[in-house]
Amino acid sequence: MGPVASVFARATTRVNPIEVEDCAVASLVMQSGALASLAATLGSHREISRMRFCFEHVTFESAQAPYWPGDDPWQIVPASREAEGRISDALADHPFVPSRFGGLIGAYHQSLATGARLPVTLADARCSLELVTALYHSASTGSVVALPIERDHPKYNGWREHGEQ
């Protein structure tokens, strides 16, 4: 879907007596024009984690295991028999990749051994920090935040207020 172009977020503490938000929602517009929605709550009486990706010709849905939704096999729902055939062909020789730490360390080892591009770069890490910064800034100001975060953004150098220790 490409890089994020802008975000709008809301976050609040509604359910649990804790110091941080326990409910959050966000709307993302990608540079490609694709839309993404995110929702999280610590107030659910049934702990689940789920990822769902809907595209023109296919929907992918993870299992709902708390905190590890991508570990179990995904449900792949093609929009047509033609799409199902293309998906089957694409997955035919796809190797199993362990999730989480094992998969990431294996990918780093492979990159270092072969000289290939690292699976996560400093630029990727910066994009992640910019996204989190934009989400929190949007939630605190009620405004849409464009990405990337530029040097003149009020949270560019950190989230703490000026003079806060």
pTM score of the predicted model:
0.83
Q: Are 149 and 136 in contact (CB under 8 A)?
A: no
Cis peptide before 154 (omega within 30 of 0): no
Is the predicted pLDDT of residue 16 greater than 60, yes or no? Answer: yes
Residue 149 per-residue DSSP state: P
Could you give the domains of the chain? 4-45+95-146 (3.30.360.10)
Listed residue (27, 25, 29, 24) closest to 6, CA to CA: 29
Q: What is the pLDDT of residues 51-73, one digit of tens each?
A: 999 999 999 999 998 888 878 88
Please, which residues bridge with residue 78 across strands? 58
Q: What is the pLDDT of residues 88-143, one digit of tens each?
A: 999 998 887 778 888 889 999 999 999 999 999 999 999 999 999 999 999 999 99
Spatial CB neighbours of 141, under 8 Å, sequence gap ≥ 6: none
- The SS3 assignment for 76 reads strand
Cα angle vertex 11, ends 10, 12, to 5°? 130
- Burial (CB count within 10 angstroms: exposed 0-12, middle 13-18, buried 19+), residue 9: buried
Side chain identity, residue 137: H
